A = this chain, B = another copy of it.
Amino acid sequence: MTDAATNMRLKLPITCFILQIILIILFGTMVQYNTDTDAAAWHNQTLPDYENDFYYRYASFQDVHVMIFIGFGFLMTFLQKYGFSSVGFNFLIAAFALQWATLMQGFLHGMHHGKIHIGVESMINADFCTGAVLISFGAVLGKTSPVQLLIMAMFEVTLFAVNEYVVLTVLGAKDAGGSMTIHTFGAYFGLMVTRVLYRPNLDKSKHRNSSVYHSDLFAMIGTLYLWMFWPSFNSAVTAHGDDQHRTAMNTYYSLAACTLSSYAMSALTAHDGKLDMVHIQNAALAGGVAAGTAGEMMLTPFGSMIVGFLAGIISVLGFKYLSPVLEDKLKIQDTCGVHNLHGMPGILGAIVGAVTAACATMEIYGKGMVDVFPAVADGSFTASVQGVRQAISLAVTLGIALLGGLIVGFILKLPLFGTPPDSICFEDSIYWEVPGEEPSHEEQLTVVRTEETEKLNN
């Protein structure tokens, strides 16, 4: 039974090949270089090379890319026996999702004469969408097969693009760093999926659902890259000039304040006054999430620090007091605690964004209003309406995420996608050839003997 369910010999290759071939065909028929990447088109206009969007955004793109593959990948290696899967499935589903997102986002808001035009900005947006999938991955970590994850990614990317279209295009909300579209969406989608996939006997794998010393250090690599590059994440697709600059700086101060409040709350709440690595690895990042909507606005460093400070407190409290309740009462088994890192801080960020937007005045923004709130600048609606639309966007995002997660959760229950039994969750060896933890005793003896021989030879 175990074998039938989790053996990936045919399921995984077939899924990967089908998905990749569909992607190639759709790219061949639908996708074109945009003006900044096409040799003929770029040279047909008169902008100097330094005005190519590459030089405005590529460094940010690479920082985001590192967050997606190293940041998310290593953050999840904290589990003692699931490091290969954490970093390896993160790699696989991200590589798929960024291609699929290019198409889905292109269909919905990147079409030019029937073709999807792509460049560095679409690459960043594809990575953003991938981020939402990886957040959901964090909720189901250790309990899903790679085929389930690919199927989840396919549906989630599609729904992400729909939600993004509604929020950004229909409602005209701003959400540069994705407090709503990425974090809230990814978290609540994933929480609903893990709710549907509830495993009553997961405690059979409980002994593996924890860290060892070195796995926590690997996870800190992920944490720190996410923390350091979050300013690039939030600013990557904001308008050129002061907007990118301001967004990065707001996020930097939000994160710094969040780190201090996370350490404080960890020592205050954890057993015996000792710090808990789970809090440090996660809560210290909540400041980046919470600055995702308002970061590009004139939030000020002062405002950013307050937001980050609160986000750290909320996040640690969530890990300590809310997660056990969610698991016991609502049957939500949230492996990485994405509700505490992405869910609640994402909602906080959305609310802060709505309030900050509602307070926008021409006095504060000047001619820069066009970049931050174009609809307010051109008189389409007032700042208050912008604030209301931001708030509605949060509700829409929660609705689509929860409903989408519900449906996709049931799809993932189909037996053909394979899923590990309750007793072998959080375990690499069902998907990977896993070597031993240590050189064998025999080997260590060999080394000792070799060294002794060497000494004799001296």
Most buried by B among A59, A259, A427: A259
For window 57-80 of A, CB contacts with B under 8 Å fall at: 58-59, 62-63, 65-66, 69-70, 73-74, 77, 80
Counting from the closest, the 8 A-B pairs by CB-CB distance are A9-B273, A40-B366, A39-B368, A42-B242, A95-B259, A43-B367, A16-B264, A49-B241
How far is B59's CA from A221's CA once the two chains are assembled, in angstroms?
20
Beyond A65-B228, A207-B442, 5 additional pairs, beta carbon < 8 A: A16-B264, A40-B368, A69-B227, A119-B245, A437-B438
The yes or no answer to A232 lying at the interface (CB within 8 A) is: yes
The residue from B50, B263, B369, B453 contacting A2, defined by CB atoms under 8 A apart: B453
Complex Cα gap A56–B54 (Å):
9
Q: Using known A-B contacts A1-B457, A39-B371, A267-B8, determine if residue A207 contacts B440 with beta carbons closer than 8 Å.
A: yes
CB contact under 8 A between A9 and B58, given known A99-B257, A368-B42 = no
Please determine whether A95 and B260 come into contact, CB atoms closer than 8 angstroms. yes
Knowing A55-B56, A58-B59, the reply to whether A99 touches B249 (Cβ < 8 A) is: no
In the complex, A410 has a CB within 8 A of chain B: no
- Let me know if A271 is at the binding interface, CB within 8 A: yes
Q: Is the CB of A214 within 8 A of B214?
A: yes
- Across the interface, do A260 and B20 meet the contact criterion of CB distance under 8 Å? yes
Partner of A274, one of B309, B427, B431: B431
Residues of B within 8 A of A276 (CB): 432-433
- Residue A427 contacts which of B2, B305, B450 (CB distance < 8 angstroms)? B450
Contact A366 B27 (CB under 8 A): no
Does A83 reach chain B (CB closer than 8 Å)?
Answer: yes
Write the chain B residue with the least CB distance to A150: B260
Contact A2 B207 (CB under 8 A): no
**What B residues does A69 contact at CB under 8 A?**
224, 227-228
Q: In the complex the two chains form, is A273's CB within 8 Å of B229's CB?
A: no
A206-240 CB mask vs B (1 if < 8 Å, else 0) is: 01101111101110110011011101100000001
Q: Report if A91-B429 is in contact (Cβ < 8 Å); known contacts: A24-B257, A55-B50, A272-B9.
A: no
A38 CA to B371 CA, complexed, in Å: 12
Interface centre among A81, A88, A208, A231 (most CB of B within 10 A): A88
Contact of A277 among B118, B371, B432, B443 (CB under 8 A): B432
Q: Which residues of B contact A7 (CB under 8 A)?
A: 272-273
In the complex, the answer to whether A277 meets B212 with C-beta atoms within 8 Å is no
CB distance from A322 to the nearest CB of B (A): 19
Check if A253 is an interface residue, CB within 8 A of chain B. yes
Q: State in angstroms the CA–CA spacing of A255 and B69 once bound together.
A: 13
Among the stretches A167-175, A190-198, A294-302, A398-406, the one at the interface with B is A294-302
Could you show 29 A-B contacts with beta carbons less than 8 Å apart? A31-B300, A33-B300, A37-B246, A38-B246, A40-B364, A43-B367, A43-B368, A49-B240, A52-B242, A54-B245, A59-B59, A59-B62, A65-B228, A69-B228, A80-B435, A81-B443, A81-B447, A91-B227, A92-B260, A95-B259, A99-B253, A99-B256, A120-B245, A211-B435, A212-B437, A212-B439, A274-B429, A275-B432, A424-B450
A20–B249 CB distance below 8 A: no
Determine whether A155 belongs to the interface, using a CB cutoff of 8 Å to chain B.
no
CA distance A216 to B77 in the complex (A): 12
Q: Are A118 and B275 in contact (CB under 8 A)?
A: no
The answer to the question of A344 belonging to the interface, with a C-beta cut-off of 8 Å to chain B, is no
